[in-house]
Amino acid sequence: MSTASGTPWPASAVRDDDGALVVGGVTAPALAAEHGTPAYVLDEGEFRARARAYQGAFTDAFAAIGAGVDVYYAGKALLTVAVARWAREEGLRVDTASGGELAVALRAGVPGAELGLHGNNKSDAELQAALDNGVGRIIVDSLGEIDRLADLAEARGVVAPVMVRVTTGVHAGGHEFISTAHEDQKFGLSVNAGPDGGDSPAVLALLRILARPSLKLLGIHSHIGSQILDSAGFGEAARTVLRLRAHLGVRTGVLVDEVDLGGGYGIAYLPQDQEIDPRKVAHEVAQAVAHACQELGTAVPRISIEPGRAIVGPAGITVYTVGTVKPVLVTADDNSTFTRLYVSVDGGMSDNIRPALYGAAYHAEIANRRSEAPLALVRVVGKHCESGDIVVHELMLPGDVQPGDLLAVAATGAYGRSMASNYNLLTRPPVVAVHDGASRVLLRRETVDDLLALDLG
């Protein structure tokens, strides 16, 4: 097990004398014995180290151009009370995207002022909760929301702090980013002119906010995509947002103080992947911001970012128990045949929907022992009633993998538990934190009684 950065495992991952996987000082067999499987295992030290790495990289890079930075942990990737506390203890704020995420962050003791609330379709109840808890920034996503929020704030006699989510035409993900004139998706307000060639939806939103005394315009927000491994898109989006900011400044005399560049920093899922380097991307974005502001003749704004996956993704693994192992003779396109070993685990698409939803690739290893057996071509599948219930599409594993073995899948910390379901009425696995040789349950395993309690008959 390599611990070099760029592998998908937490830096603490090693093998003990029996060849068992150890994370955060706790062996996979010990975790399975104490907490059962499947279980999400979260390395607290890795989470904290990553939070510090992003905080440090962006703070340093922007200090060099005279700007302050706030790092918001994007709770949608995984949010529990303990996780929100870790983020806060490492100096991060928390970005929420629903009333539920907001409630968990508040329960963790994160002050409202350090929270953001996102959403393209926030309910009145969510907006009210944000106002009542003094949420520091409500990122508005439509003209209608601006009116609703202004009315709610006015009725309460408060001033709501808002940012406008804009779409810059930069879409990024993987190694590519493309600029498009039109954005065919539900988020944000475009910076491009409307069909009549008049003001863009983004400008209309900004003007509408300035016209409402119950709203305070903090700044402009842009999020360009997720799992981005090429840093160029971030600078490109920053330039577009800064142009919009300067335009508003000339037009209204209001040069907003803040620009949020969203999340999306990509991680390694496979051993050959190289994650984005926070120091490199922070430096490049800071330089792009500095140059753009110089060209535009505007002061450099305070910058915020919202990494989710890059903080929690590599800190999490999933430990499963192997059940059915079935060799299947497969006929290839050229009519040759080969054997694929189907290895079924005790979870599947209900605890990790990403392979089925995005075709996401993962890496897995036998976690309870060492094996010198020749490698076999394996597909790791779950226990759901669906042939697309795949955990790892293609993998070489020791051919003696057998029922009762533990299998650990790497880099499942982000968007695993947070997108988990009860399909086939499976109970969602626990989230178990490991640190310094000890484990503790952050979210307990659901039980069949939990499921029955929801069903009113």
Give the residue numbers annotated as catalytic, written as ranges. 385
- Cα–Cα distance for residue pair 111/386, rounded to 1 Å: 43
Nearer to ligand LLP, 163 or 366 (CB): 163
Q: Does 263 bind ligand LLP (CB under 6 A)?
A: yes
From residue 198, give the alpha-carbon distance in Å to each of 22, 192, 250, 313.
60, 9, 17, 42
Nearer to ligand LLP, 29 or 307 (CB): 307
Q: What are 172-175's contacts with CB under 8 Å, separation 24+?
A: 172/224, 172/225, 172/228, 172/230, 172/233, 172/234, 172/237, 172/264, 173/225, 173/226, 173/227, 173/228, 173/264, 174/227, 174/228, 174/229, 174/230, 174/266, 175/229, 175/230
Residues 310-329 that bind ligand LLP (CB under 6 A): 310
Nearest to 421 by CA among 349, 334, 350, 317: 350
Residues 197-256 that bind ligand LLP (CB under 6 A): 223, 226-227
Q: Where are the alpha helices (DSSP H) in 212-370?
A: 232-252, 278-296, 309-312, 354-358
Smallest distance from the beta carbon of 312 to ligand LLP, in angstroms? 8
How many CB atoms are located within 10 Å of the residue 363 CB?
19
Q: What is the largest CA-CA distance in the chain?
A: 74
Backbone angles phi, psi at 161, to 5 degrees: -80, 120
Q: Where are the beta strands (DSSP E) in 141-214?
A: 160-167, 170-174, 176-179, 189-190
Binding mask 411-450 for ligand LLP (x = CB under 6 A): ---xx-----------------------------------
Residues 328-357 that bind ligand LLP (CB under 6 A): 354
Nearest to 313 by CA among 68, 7, 20: 7
Q: How many residues bind ligand LLP (CB under 6 A)?
A: 20
Q: Which stretch binds ligand LLP (CB under 6 A): 69-77, 146-154, 326-334, 384-392?
A: 69-77
Q: For ligand LLP, which residue of 262, 278, 398, 429 counts as binding (CB under 6 A)?
A: 262
Q: For ligand LLP, which residue of 9, 47, 265, 362 counts as binding (CB under 6 A)?
A: 265
From residue 139, give the alpha-carbon distance in Å to each of 17, 174, 253, 268.
51, 26, 22, 29
Q: Which stretch binds ligand LLP (CB under 6 A): 197-205, 262-270, 277-285, 376-384?
A: 262-270
- Cα–Cα distance for residue pair 161/17, rounded to 1 Å: 56
Q: For ligand LLP, which residue of 118, 245, 283, 384 counts as binding (CB under 6 A)?
A: 118
DSSP 354: H
Q: Which stretch binds ligand LLP (CB under 6 A): 171-179, 205-213, 286-294, 308-316?
A: 308-316
Binding mask 74-93 for ligand LLP (x = CB under 6 A): x-xx----------------
Q: Does 308 bind ligand LLP (CB under 6 A)?
A: yes
Smallest distance from the beta carbon of 263 to ligand LLP, in angstroms? 3
Smallest distance from the beta carbon of 12 to ligand LLP, in angstroms? 22
Q: Which stretch binds ligand LLP (CB under 6 A): 70-78, 321-329, 368-376, 397-405?
A: 70-78
Nearest to 68 by CA among 303, 233, 405: 303
Q: Which stretch binds ligand LLP (CB under 6 A): 79-87, 128-136, 302-310, 338-346?
A: 302-310
Smallest distance from the beta carbon of 145 to ligand LLP, in angstroms? 15
How many CB atoms are located within 10 Å of the residue 204 CB?
16
Binding mask 398-417 for ligand LLP (x = CB under 6 A): ----------------xx--
Q: 34 in helix, strand or coil?
A: helix
Interface residue list for ligand LLP (CB under 6 A): 74, 76-77, 95, 118, 223, 226-227, 262-265, 306-310, 354, 414-415
